[in-house]
Homo-oligomer: A and B are copies of this chain.
Amino acid sequence: MDFDMVSAIPMLERTPAVLGTLLGGLPDRWTQLDEGDGTWSVREVLAHLIHGENADWIPRVRHLMEWGERKPFPPFDRTFGFAERREQPVEELVEEFARLRRESLASLAALHLTSNDLAREGSHPEFGRVTLAQHLATWVAHDLTHLSQIVRILGVQYREAVGPWAAYLRVVRPVPS
């Protein structure tokens, strides 16, 4: 499926609400642990999503519109804020993400991007030439990746509890490397 704004925006709009519905009021036990060594906790994923709104998605749209391929995007720190966010209530992190997402989408709308803009190219610090449409499609797929990750983090908490059913339930299995 090709990227278009009409499909992308409704998905970007709903991610905070989906996270709120999934995590709001959930007993703390569910969100205390991660998936094992070297994996992220729910709070860390939320910190990463928050930092994406602040430093990646709209900032890189603006960077690409201003610089095109002449200047690569500044690198993005994937684990920014992890230490600080570790004690914050999950609901608070979701609310902060929701507020920032609303602002991001307002900024996106205000840019009135045309299909010509979507075809414009920028330079990624690691893999070079990328289009604005690819960047925006990645924003959506990135939401879904981390939503799926949070669901997995919840699921693995029952890894032992399901007994022999573990063989059938992909979500309780260890993360593939």
Q: Which residues of A contact B (CB under 8 A)?
A: 1-3, 6-7, 10-11, 14, 17-18, 21-22, 25-27, 29-30, 33, 124, 127-128, 130-131, 133-134, 137-138, 140-142, 144-145, 147-149, 151-152, 154-155, 157-158, 160-165, 167, 169-172, 176
Residue of B nearest to A22 (CB): B18
> Do A27 and B2 contact each other (CB < 8 Å), given the known contacts A131-B163, A144-B171, A151-B151?
no
In the assembly, how many copies of this chain are there? 2
Give every chain B residue within 8 A of A158 (Cβ-Cβ): 1, 3, 137-138, 140-141
> Do A148 and B141 contact each other (CB < 8 Å), given the known contacts A18-B22, A26-B11, A163-B131?
no
Q: Distance (Å) between the CB of A59 and the closest chain B CB?
A: 16
Q: Is there an interface contact between A151 and B147, defined as CB atoms closer than 8 Å?
A: yes
Give every chain B residue within 8 A of A165 (Cβ-Cβ): 127, 130, 134, 137-138, 141-142
Distance in angstroms between the alpha carbons of A171 and B11 in the assembled complex? 15
Q: Is there an interface contact between B148 and A134, defined as CB atoms closer than 8 Å?
A: no
Give every chain B residue within 8 A of A134 (Cβ-Cβ): 161-165
